[in-house]
Structure 1
């Protein structure tokens, strides 16, 4: 065979092979899964032309705009690209670019299996190609925020789409006191949360740029925590004053409380922010909520704060302070027999009317009391009244049954020998010598008292009429019958006739306790001359009148540093101005300083001859100082309030023309001192 014939046969063979390859059809089957609402497609047939079997793997984030430009599958600009899975899950093919792009914002997480095909007809011959694409859509990272219920909150959103015409919305807002505010751009989540808990929000962004829709979204987790309540303490029957903190920065904010007025307290708008003022009438715990509202530039603002005021009984106020649980016996699985005795303060010896709400009728019989109770009701309310003063106490009896300890008898340190004088008032408190380790109320049995001495409650008192030495026996019994006994000797001497007229010559201060704020508890005893043994009636300018012998314990306010005592024996009356605050905090000398809790007050030129005095103040705790000039009667002649930002400052104060003793009282947020000065001619 010739070389030409061989070459020609080889050429035909090659051409035949090319024709077979051109017409070869391959069946390709692609399976898709349905993930997060992405619709899968069934298998399809496609010419196996320009196939790259390796899939393109991409990653996107749900809620975040996505864009990926496809590779060129055919070398022709007229090729038409399509995908049977798009549009889907927020993505679609965009033909703004060539080759086109997969664009949009994925809605749901998961894996998208796509097939993108390219088709065209060139010179009458159809051409096609395709490529598999896998897009893994991950969950977005949520924005974690924290807010406090009752406290104004503001958070400016991040930019989700880079176009100023983008609109932001959230299907969960407004809600729980929060809403979207469009004062800022991007907008802000603003408001005051009402309730605690976790708020799961979704913020969406949408725009349309050159006919192209754009969207994005972001999850936000907002944890609203409970506010820290303000805890305050007050005393029943004692004036109370507390200035509220600033809840909103606007001076036009209005403050209110649904629980006030109540229990003798109300909101006073003399100060700003307002103050809770008044005199509590009953003991217990007051739970208040103070709200603040304002409208600034048509924007509503609000805030609130919880306040707990524990009203304690005063030394002279009748109240139930607790319960002495004597026994708790199990009757059945749900029944208990309870034996108990209420504990009181402020008893006067008058009958006490007692009841247990819905469990025990009113009775004046003293305890112990016995009740059959059901464990489904673990709390009982005790109510008692003495001399028109009502007190209540919520007793968790079931918890008490689970923690009971054996009752112990009273104890005594013994009562030392006592001395009294005929014609002079005598008083002895047995509570100073007998105690109960379990805090139980005690009943006293006293024998051997000379007439007309008697026992009332824990007090032995009276005015002895005759001299002598008397053995006294005292027995203290607790509610369960346990007791302790002791004896002491009382010697009554005769009275020496007075050599001078009856006079209240002074006061001995034996105790000063700062109760907080402007409240002090002061213990004192008046000093007399010219005693005849007649009864002494003592009146105080705070409204107290008594014939009991001292010492006296009074709760006083620094706003009234002077307490005038008026005593009467027979037809003779004597008065004494008791500067208790000076006695508790110290006096003042020329160029001397009064120091307490760091606050120092120095007066220059004492005695003072001019119409003004220079005072140097240092050691101030807080942001303000209030200075008041008082006369000897406690009347204010000058008062000024200063903003304080220095460590030490010297000021000049005007004085009245009155000659004599004056007082300069300096108050801060947590300190108070009074300095005495002399005004001379």
Structure 2
């Protein structure tokens, strides 16, 4: 075949191929046009060959704010994002960002399977994309705390949302003595738990910032342990005194015990905090609870502590415990003369009946006793009885004779001078100053004691009622009658008065012209301890210098209030200087009384109640206590007192005689005596 023929044939083949391609393209275009023209009756779709995207795996914590910005699923900025599963479980889509974010605080744990869709309209064609997101919501880690029942508790909640206007709350509080305190931000859990156990709390917080609502929460577990009781011991018939520790650090705290007074014990408010005082009458275990309560910044605060007092018997029960051999003389080979004294414990002042079986008739005469005994009977039986209690002792007298040593008298180191004060329990153990070289028990004889002090066993105890100096003699006697004596001086001073700014004396007044005066005055105090006194005046002067003081004062302010502090005790006094200087009462309408005043309506009192008028209160509360002359509390109550004066009815202790009523408010204490005639 020639070259020309081959070239021509190739040209025809190329032409046929191009014609076939054009016909195919036209056919396909016609097909699309036809499809568009019958869209209302028949749809056309191409097979979907897309591969599902890989899910996005996230973790969150229940109660903790969560935010995750969705990645861009479409290149078009007009794409619209949505999720058919949101909002749910505290989460929703937040459109403050682009693409939007999954935002919120999960409410519950578990796995959340979400689908995020993105659609865009491009040249009137809808384009779409999607992605699967799996969020695993883990449980929150609880805040674990410990507290003690009755002991003040304080825990500041951590910041849950970093917005200063977030509000915090807990559906379980207040409960079990705890509450939310908003004195801090975030708030604190405060109070004193009432009962032991586990407290499960949820603290929630929320706010709205820039139109977006935010929330968070956290679980808190508080394990409340039992308090450690204060364990004390006392002795029946022996005076007892224990000052309660500080439970709340505020001087206005009131202390009470629902179990007192009982068994001879009561709360005494002569100390602060008060003391448990008295003389137990019955042995056994006393379970007490001491409560403390005050109000600070309109919030009630409380605390409590258990106290266990074990009251032991005053002495061991009566028993015949042995023999003190004084001498053993030989009369013959088979006869001995035995001189001895029985030894006892738990004796009282009642007579002791004593006998030796078949050897000595029953007698109440004290020893020593003498018997002629035969060596063929080396054992004798001693029998004694006191207060109906019978005791016996088998004595190997012959063995005692063979090993006896001479009896020696007791010894003493002497008793140094003693001092106490009226109204205060006193106790002295003589066993600290006497001893018997043979180890024998000693009996004590005491003379010269004040009427309110007594000897019980080896203890001198009681509460002195009057002052004075008392020479006291003490004799210690061993079972064989040997003795030693000594004496000491007991000085009883007057009861210590509480620190009080009691009065003010005016030393001089000078009119400076117009309404100005120069006043010189001196405060007078009781209950001084030697500590520094800080004196503050309502005209702004504060000083630690001793008086007298000179101040320039205006007649427009005829009252100068003085506030003195010694240690932790504060006392106030209203000084009406203008009246003291001029005798004038032209400003008296504005005077509010000269400090705390207590007036009794009807004294002597002839009923079981007394009415008091209380004036000059410097605070919002008044505490009244009814006591006997030994400071034992009969009744106590604290009252809200919004006005300067008012009246109150108090129950008195049964019986007749003198009783005390103590009225206490912030910085002021007054005590009045009542005579109950029937």
TM-score (norm 1): 0.53
Task: Provide Cα deviations, 1:194-224, integer angstroms capped at 9, x if missing partner.
Answer: 0000101101111111221111000101111
Task: Provide Cα deviations, 1:166-207, integer angstroms capped at 9, x if missing partner.
Answer: 111111111001111111111111111000001011011111
> Matches of residues 228-627 of structure 1 in structure 2 within 5 Å?
228-315=228-315, 345-347=316-318, 416=325, 418=327, 427-429=341-343, 446-448=356-358, 450=360, 453-454=363-364, 461-462=366-367, 469=372, 473-474=380-381, 485-488=394-397, 508=412, 521-523=429-431, 539=447, 541=449, 553-554=458-459, 556=461, 564-565=472-473, 578-579=487-488
* 1:170 matched residue in structure 2: 170
Q: CA deviation at 1:476?
A: 7.9
Structure 1 pair 539–447 and aligned structure 2 pair: CA distance change class (3 A): farther
* 1:365 matched residue in structure 2: none
CA contact (8 A) 1:63 1:140 kept: yes
* 2:419 matched residue in structure 1: none
CA contact (8 A) 2:324 2:340 kept: no
Q: CA deviation at 1:226?
A: 0.7
Root-mean-square deviation (CA, aligned residues, Å) is: 4.7
* 2:493 matched residue in structure 1: 636
Q: CA deviation at 1:122?
A: 1.9
Q: What SS does the corresponding residue of 1:174 show, helix, strand or coil? A: coil
Structure 1 pair 53–538 and aligned structure 2 pair: CA distance change class (3 A): closer
CA contact (8 A) 2:324 2:341 kept: no
CA contact (8 A) 2:92 2:102 kept: yes
* 1:58 matched residue in structure 2: 58
Q: CA deviation at 1:305?
A: 0.4
User: Structure 1: how far apart are the matches of 2:112 and 2:309?
Assistant: 61
Between Structure 1 and Structure 2, how many residues are aligned? 418
| Pick aligned residue for 2:45 from 19, 23, 32 | 23
User: Structure 2: how far apart are the matches of 1:14 and 1:101?
Assistant: 48
Q: What SS does the corresponding residue of 2:491 show, helix, strand or coil? A: coil
CA contact (8 A) 1:524 1:553 kept: no
Q: What SS does the corresponding residue of 2:397 show, helix, strand or coil? A: strand
Task: Provide Cα deviations, 1:229-263, integer angstroms capped at 9, x if missing partner.
Answer: 00001111111111111000101000000011111
CA contact (8 A) 1:566 1:576 kept: yes
CA contact (8 A) 2:257 2:291 kept: yes
CA contact (8 A) 2:60 2:135 kept: yes
User: Structure 2: how far apart are the matches of 1:542 and 1:347?
Assistant: 28
User: Structure 2: how far apart are the matches of 1:94 and 1:217?
Assistant: 20
Q: What SS does the corresponding residue of 1:54 show, helix, strand or coil? A: coil
User: Structure 2: how far apart are the matches of 1:114 and 1:561?
Assistant: 95
CA contact (8 A) 1:417 1:488 kept: no
Q: CA deviation at 1:463?
A: 7.0
Structure 1 pair 6–146 and aligned structure 2 pair: CA distance change class (3 A): farther
CA contact (8 A) 2:453 2:461 kept: no
CA contact (8 A) 1:525 1:552 kept: no
Q: CA deviation at 1:82?
A: 1.2
User: Structure 2: how far apart are the matches of 1:203 and 1:184?
Assistant: 15
Structure 1 pair 73–222 and aligned structure 2 pair: CA distance change class (3 A): same
Greater shift, 558-567 or 98-107, is seen at 558-567
User: Structure 2: how far apart are the matches of 1:544 and 1:278?
Assistant: 14
Q: CA deviation at 1:279?
A: 0.7
User: Structure 1: how far apart are the matches of 2:113 and 2:85?
Assistant: 8
- Rg: which structure is higher? 2
User: Structure 2: how far apart are the matches of 1:551 and 1:189?
Assistant: 53
Q: CA deviation at 1:545?
A: 11
Structure 1 pair 63–419 and aligned structure 2 pair: CA distance change class (3 A): same
CA contact (8 A) 1:507 1:524 kept: no
Q: What SS does the corresponding residue of 1:634 show, helix, strand or coil? A: strand
Q: What SS does the corresponding residue of 1:119 show, helix, strand or coil? A: strand
User: Structure 2: how far apart are the matches of 1:487 and 1:346?
Assistant: 24
Q: What SS does the corresponding residue of 2:366 show, helix, strand or coil? A: strand
Q: CA deviation at 1:164?
A: 1.4
Task: Provide Cα deviations, 1:23-69, integer angstroms capped at 9, x if missing partner.
Answer: 3244xxxxxxxxxxxxxxxxxxxxx76x6521111111110111111
Task: Provide Cα deviations, 1:356-414, integer angstroms capped at 9, x if missing partner.
Answer: xxxxxxxxxxxxxxxxxxxxxxxxxxxxxxxxxxxxxxxxxxxxxxxxxxxxxxxx988
User: Structure 1: how far apart are the matches of 2:299 and 2:293?
Assistant: 11
CA contact (8 A) 2:290 2:306 kept: yes
Structure 1 pair 128–563 and aligned structure 2 pair: CA distance change class (3 A): farther
Structure 1 pair 636–542 and aligned structure 2 pair: CA distance change class (3 A): closer
CA contact (8 A) 1:415 1:488 kept: no
* 2:92 matched residue in structure 1: 92
* 1:83 matched residue in structure 2: 83
* 1:38 matched residue in structure 2: none
User: Structure 1: how far apart are the matches of 2:189 and 2:269?
Assistant: 32
CA contact (8 A) 1:152 1:192 kept: yes
* 1:657 matched residue in structure 2: none
User: Structure 1: how far apart are the matches of 2:278 and 2:26?
Assistant: 112
Q: Is 1:160 aligned to residue 141 of structure 2?
A: no
Task: Provide Cα deviations, 1:314-337, integer angstroms capped at 9, x if missing partner.
Answer: 12xxxxxxxxxxxxxxxxxxxxxx
Structure 1 pair 487–543 and aligned structure 2 pair: CA distance change class (3 A): farther
* 2:194 matched residue in structure 1: 194
User: Structure 2: how far apart are the matches of 1:204 and 1:90?
Assistant: 13
CA contact (8 A) 1:415 1:487 kept: no
User: Structure 2: how far apart are the matches of 1:166 and 1:76?
Assistant: 38
CA contact (8 A) 2:453 2:460 kept: no
Q: What SS does the corresponding residue of 1:309 show, helix, strand or coil? A: strand
* 1:124 matched residue in structure 2: 124
Structure 1 pair 184–430 and aligned structure 2 pair: CA distance change class (3 A): closer
Q: Which runs of 5+ in 1 are unaligned?
A: 27-47, 316-344, 350-411, 433-442, 455-459, 492-504, 528-535, 568-574, 580-631, 645-681
TM-score (norm 2): 0.53
